[in-house]
A and B are shown apart, each in its own frame.
Chain A
């Protein structure tokens, strides 16, 4: 065999060299002071975490992942978790991990209204996101828009509504509906939706896309995606509207954070939470992430990228997010309705 042209040998040499080069490259972990499990996407939160490090000198190592995956991971890890903090997309995930969180100092808790944080002070809302209706302004007259969440089961929306029945925010919203009304009412509402033959989509983004594509005309969803779509394309053919003021359909939910009970760096962890609740971070969530501030004064809203937080807060119902707990029961109800 001509050794100079031995393909197997060349392949092996290439692989061996790459492994050594890569091992040297990848095995240089930064010395971190805090370990954060983030269910929030890197593009959205990395800039503000960098800002925190720049201001305080505290390094943060971040594990990015889906909120649900990280919630299950934390449950599996239990008190052996290396995490100091868990930043989640929604309150249901925070509720699941609540037993593993440490109580936060009252000066931190007091920055946020009590409905947007855990009643026992173990997690706290960082940014608000509103449930609302998105629709196609070309195919749906303003007079035909639903005025209450209950009205979504109306005959006139048959086959026109997009729905992501296993989306975390939707399940949490149904859990809230159970609390605000009753299991019977919630089930009836879900059955009404099912009878209306919704266009099933896999998540909120797919719902926005379905309306833009003309497959559906409206959807009950979260507000902040519209800002992102409009930022990428100013002519994106989807608009937002709220239900009548105080309707549960306009529920304000939060993405929030908790400090792990087992953390050896609680002081730095709380400093991180305080930073997120400060003016800089709150303005960032409002201006760049298209979410709503949960604290602070003089936060400048974004114009022309969907609902502003003044509009959202005026429309939002009085509802304590602490009541959203029973996910398994809610999922069971959604199953019973035949939606999943």
Chain B
């Protein structure tokens, strides 16, 4: 009951922005809307968005699946380090990744200035896919790693004992068990790609999201933009619907008695180690080395000393939002995940789908909705810390739900039932039995929210307290004026501090150990 009530509350909050968009959409002149929507170009842009999403998902899987396997299931030396390095690209701001790839090429590019080599510019579908994949793949990695860690190896051993070859074991046992994690990862990456326009625009690829941005920013229009945003939400929610259809009815928890087999790692020979290191090395070099090199290159051109003090202040302000947002998102995600896994019903399905709305709506439209409602109903809340944190938590809730829900799928209700039978109350069971077993999922979810909140822009523009200057806004103030060199220390700070946080949180991560 408690979970349903909490879930319903969250679902209701997610409906507010949709209500707002409908309100604005019906203020528009319908023939104009029709003309805008039926342009052949609108169709072309939708196809472009679809292609981009497909490519990014493919790239991300090719990067994340082997990495997660290496870290979770083999004895590859250095896997703890790889585990942290594989998550860090999340902290790279999209524009830095795009500039890093673009900045490699050209007469005035990094490679030419430092090494005298000129390569053709990365752009279009491939350029955009690569840029997005290089900082989105950790979403999939974290989901997959948690799934590998929670997977009972006894299952694989039984399959082998029953005569399956390694390939068959992977295809028939391992892969199906990884499916919820794969889909959770694909879902958040897909939704991100559908909504992103920053890196995509820099790569000169035109996608549907850009039309919405254009409508807001070039025509200062909120009415037609609402129609476009609603279309985007419809697409996103249909993706969410398909994902949950595929996930429904799945059962991945152990049912037998006894505990699962502890992780026995595959012992890699020298050849395997070399291959593992090379693969991880290339991924780290491109996804982290490249942006770090470009930022360092920019930073050598300006003095760091004078910016240290404002940088520290901005960092503290970023932290004052990102940390509570991560906590709040995790707190919101718990009841939603419990509903999905333990109390499947139409209502819980609906709540789980609604939970993705915040992430699927273009951020600008989402923020505008909360501007509208807080000014109407809760003036005292407007442009306060509390509102900003709440909106962040709602907006990034989907990121926290994925890993937490996957973790729940692998816990056994029977253990909780035993604890109840031994006289523990529901809260005590949750705190002492359930929470410890879903810990990796909760931590992963919080890391995801924290890192994205550190670099978020449009919501902060509209809803941050006036005078609030987090790293993302200070960075934007410089890039928007073409001052990439001056922006570099702030971009570097976002990456460095996110890295410290991720490192701290993953420090005790036994799954890689």
Contact = CB atoms under 8 A, between A and B. Distances in A.
Interface string B41-67: 100000000000000000000000000
Q: Which 4 A-B pairs have the closest CB atoms?
A: A213-B106, A7-B508, A68-B217, A205-B482
Interface string B473-513: 11011111111111000000000000000001101100000
B383 interface: yes
B327 A331 contact: no
Interface stretch (A14-22, A143-151, A153-161, A301-309): A14-22
A18 B318 CA distance: 12
A148 B204 CA distance: 28
A114 to B, nearest CB: 24
B319 interface: yes
Interface string A62-84: 11111011111101110010100
Contact of B371 (A30, A76, A93): A76
B13 to A, nearest CB: 19
B319 A18 contact: yes
B69 interface: no
Contact of B323 (A15, A41, A61, A236): A15
B108 A61 contact: no
Contacts of B301: 232-233
13 contacts: A7-B508, A26-B385, A30-B467, A35-B466, A41-B477, A42-B473, A42-B477, A64-B476, A71-B220, A72-B368, A75-B220, A92-B220, A205-B482
A8 B436 contact: yes
A237 B108 contact: yes
A119 interface: no
Contact of A65 (B41, B107, B320, B462): B462
B443 interface: yes
Interface of B: 39, 41, 102, 105-109, 121, 201-202, 204, 214-222, 301-302, 316-317, 319-320, 323-324, 326-327, 364, 368, 371-372, 375, 379, 382-383, 385, 435-436, 439, 443, 458, 461-462, 464-469, 473-474, 476-486, 504-505, 507-508
Interface in A9-39: 10-11, 14-15, 18-19, 22-23, 25-27, 29-30, 32, 35
Interface residues of A, number: 70
Contacts of B204: 200-202
Nearest to B467: A61
Chain A interface main SS type: helix
A80 B379 contact: yes
Nearest to B383: A82
B478 A43 contact: yes
Interface in A206-225: 206, 208-209, 212-215, 225
Most buried by B among A14, A26, A340: A26
A63 B107 contact: no
Nearest to B439: A8
Given A62-B467, A73-B371, A19 B220 contact: no
B323 A18 contact: yes
Nearest to B214: A166
A200 B106 CA distance: 16
Most buried by B among A8, A76, A201, A205: A76
B473 A64 contact: yes
Contacts of A213: 105-109, 121
Contact of A232 (B385, B435, B485, B505): B485
Nearest to A170: B218
Nearest to A16: B327
A168 interface: yes
A63 to B, nearest CB: 5
Contacts of B439: 7-8
Nearest to A328: B219
A15 B462 CA distance: 26
A229 interface: yes
A22 B319 CA distance: 7
B462 A69 contact: yes
A213 B390 CA distance: 43
Most buried by A among B302, B326, B468: B468
A335 interface: yes
Contact of A212 (B106, B316, B465): B106
A276 interface: no
Nearest to A32: B467
Nearest to A45: B477
A300 interface: no
B481 A72 contact: no
A8 B375 contact: no
Contacts of A340: 214
A264 interface: no
B480 A41 contact: yes
Contacts of A62: 466-467
B217 A69 contact: yes
A80 B217 CA distance: 22
Given A44-B481, A212-B108, A64 B220 contact: no
Given A44-B481, A206-B202, A215-B121, 8 more contacts: A22-B316, A23-B320, A23-B324, A68-B217, A69-B216, A69-B217, A76-B375, A228-B482
Most buried by B among A23, A42, A208, A236: A42
A327 interface: yes
Contact of A335 (B39, B302, B443): B39
A213 B113 CA distance: 11
A15 B436 CA distance: 17
Given A43-B483, A327-B218, A29 B473 contact: no
Contacts of A18: 319, 323
A202 B319 contact: no
A43 B302 CA distance: 14
B106 A214 contact: yes
A44 B476 CA distance: 12
A44 B105 CA distance: 29
A327 to B, nearest CB: 5
Contact of B218 (A27, A75, A331): A331
A59 B214 CA distance: 35
A159 B513 CA distance: 55
A321 B478 CA distance: 27
A96 interface: yes
A190 B118 CA distance: 33
Contacts of A7: 439, 507-508
Contacts of A27: 385
Nearest to A70: B461
A19 B371 contact: no
A251 interface: no
A204 B319 CA distance: 32
Most buried by A among B105, B215, B385, B480: B480
Contact of B473 (A14, A65, A202): A65
A327 B220 contact: yes
A275 B437 CA distance: 62
B70 to A, nearest CB: 23
A132 interface: no
B235 to A, nearest CB: 21
Contacts of A80: 375, 379
A44 B483 CA distance: 10
A228 B479 CA distance: 12
A171 interface: yes
B372 A43 contact: no
Given A72-B364, A72-B368, A213-B121, A82 B218 contact: no
Nearest to A171: B218
Contact of B108 (A44, A69, A73, A209): A209
Given A77-B371, A208-B482, A213-B105, A82 B466 contact: yes
Interface in A90-130: 92-93, 96
